[in-house]
């Protein structure tokens, strides 16, 4: 069966160009470390054809779109408490356990909310 159209040259090459643009988006999404590598991505090409009453000419519309995988959810914890007026307040838990201190990235000691308790850099300069 002979080809009716050449997809590489159809619409002056616009079809192949659009397909490659969407395929590039999919490939970028696959290598993004923030997405699930096992979920399916898609490139969908929709060709819509309509004709006039004489049925001698048809209008052709082509849409190419990609379906990407969203970035993975980011997880953290918030310590819940009350302020002096009895209103609920919160702060991100930085230490891993409520009430636990930890050594922060600068080498100082911080409370569970990330507030410095001991700044070793200041103690070294004394």
pLDDT, tens digit, 9 for 90 and up, residues 21-46: 999 999 999 999 999 999 999 999 99
52-105 tens-digit pLDDT:
999 999 999 999 999 999 999 998 888 888 889 999 988 888 777 777 887 777
Extract the tokens encoding 77. Answer: 């914890």
Q: What is the DSSP string of 7-73?
A: TTTGGGGHHHHHHHHHHHHHHHHHH-TTS-TTS--EEEEEEEEEE-TT-S-EEEEEEEEEEPPPPPP
Question: For residues 6 and 11, what is the distance between their CA atoms, to the nearest angstrom?
Answer: 10
Residue bearing tokens 């048809």: 58
Domain range list for the chain: 10-67, 78-124
The H or E element spanning position 103 is: strand 102-103
């Amino acid at each position: 069966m002979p080809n009716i159209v050449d997809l590489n040259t159809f619409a002056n090459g616009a079809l192949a160009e659009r397909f490659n643009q969407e395929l590039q988006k999919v490939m970028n999404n696959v290598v993004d470390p923030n997405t699930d590598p096992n979920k399916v991505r898609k490139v969908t090409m929709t060709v819509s054809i309509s004709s006039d009453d004489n049925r001698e000419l048809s209008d052709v519309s082509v849409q190419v779109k990609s379906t990407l995988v969203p970035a993975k959810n980011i997880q953290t914890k918030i310590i819940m408490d009350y302020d002096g007026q009895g209103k609920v307040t919160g702060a991100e838990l930085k230490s891993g356990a409520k009430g636990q201190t930890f050594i922060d990235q600068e080498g100082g000691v911080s409370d569970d909310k990330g507030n410095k308790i001991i700044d070793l850099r200041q103690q070294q300069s004394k």
